[in-house]
Amino acid sequence: MFFKKKDKPKLQEEVVLWKANEGRAKLKEEPREEAVRMFNIPISPNALIGHGRIYTVQSAAKGDGSTTIAVNLAALLALSNPERVALIDLDGYGSIRSRMGLPADECLVNILDWEDIHGPRDIVRGLYNHSSGIMVVPGVIHYDHEEKVTPTLIFKMLTLLKETHDYIILDCPPAGTGNNTWAAALVSDLIFTVFKPDRASLDLLNENNGFMARLGCQDRVYAVLNQAGIPGGIRAGELESRLGLNILGIMPYSVAVAEENNRRQMMVHSRERDDFARALQMLAGRLPVRERAV
């Protein structure tokens, strides 16, 4: 049987009884709205507007090297971004004063100045312009002022600095040790947990990771092995293969680091060819970039 072209019967559309997969596909396409605040507490870096990147540097155990990494990372970034890198001491009285030659009897600028800072125009009062190009927020002046560094103060300071600075680096004590540095972790783009290749540090690293997971920050936490190769320490290869750790950087043990710390110098300035300085440059060159909400 022949039909003229116009008479040709249309093929009947297939009857679709049940589009089981359609809803699922749609769900995938729609971006899920990220919760950025809970009970008005910022719980994600996207809760704070501003272009700056916030990096928390914390030690698994005391003395693992958070101050050394934080100061040298800030110095390295300040080489190409002078006065656009803020380094904040959240470790109470802290050692940044001593490391950078800002003892309390010579430098009165301190983190509690931020109690009276309410807008971008005032922030210069809370920052010490160091010759390295780093803008420093030194720790409290007296030990008994440590408890005044409240989460509210931390959030205010970070909100303002994120709008005005390119990098904000926080030197923090081990998490969960009776301090408020959890507030910084919640809004940090990256969290570096510095640990040493020794048993006590590894045990506390696990503890620290658990704390970060309870805060919901685990996706932003990266381990940095410091003092790799220290006599008697666990070997780096063994750590990676046996513990399945996601190690972002391996910083070698180097006597030069201790020497330069004692001279109040930064490795990336004075010993840039030392293995430690090179490892730090590698670390800075492969910092993960977090996707930002639009």
Q: Which residues bind to Mg ion, rule: CB under 5 A?
A: 67, 95
Please tell me the distance from the alpha carbon of residue 248 to that of residue 38, in angstroms, as a whole number: 30
Q: Which is nearer to ligand ATP, 56 or 227 (CB)?
A: 227
Query: To 10 degrees, what angle do helices 66-80 and 275-285 make?
Result: 70
Q: Which is nearer to Mg ion, 56 or 67 (CB)?
A: 67
Q: What are phi and psi of 157, to 5 degrees?
A: -60, -45
Give min distance, CB of 62 to Mg ion, in A: 8
Find all residues with CB under 8 Å of 160, minimum gap 6, and list them: 117, 119, 120, 123
Residue 251 near which of ligand ATP, Mg ion, none (CB within 5-8 Å, type-dependent): ligand ATP
Q: Site residues (CB under 6 A) for ligand ATP?
A: 59, 62-68, 91, 95, 173, 226-227, 251, 253-254, 257-258, 261, 276
Please tell me the distance from the alpha carbon of residue 224 to that of residue 250, in angstroms, as a whole number: 6
Residue 254 near which of Mg ion, ligand ATP, none (CB within 5-8 Å, type-dependent): ligand ATP
Give min distance, CB of 253 to ligand ATP, in A: 4
Residue 101 near which of ligand ATP, Mg ion, none (CB within 5-8 Å, type-dependent): none
Q: Which is nearer to ligand ATP, 41 or 258 (CB)?
A: 258
Q: Which is nearer to Mg ion, 70 or 85 (CB)?
A: 70
State the distance between the two ends of the chain, measured CA to CA, in whole angstroms: 61
Handedness of CA 161, 162, 165, 166 (dihedral sign): positive
- Strand pairing partners for 194? 59, 224
Give min distance, CB of 137 to Mg ion, in A: 14
Q: Which is nearer to ligand ATP, 45 or 139 (CB)?
A: 139
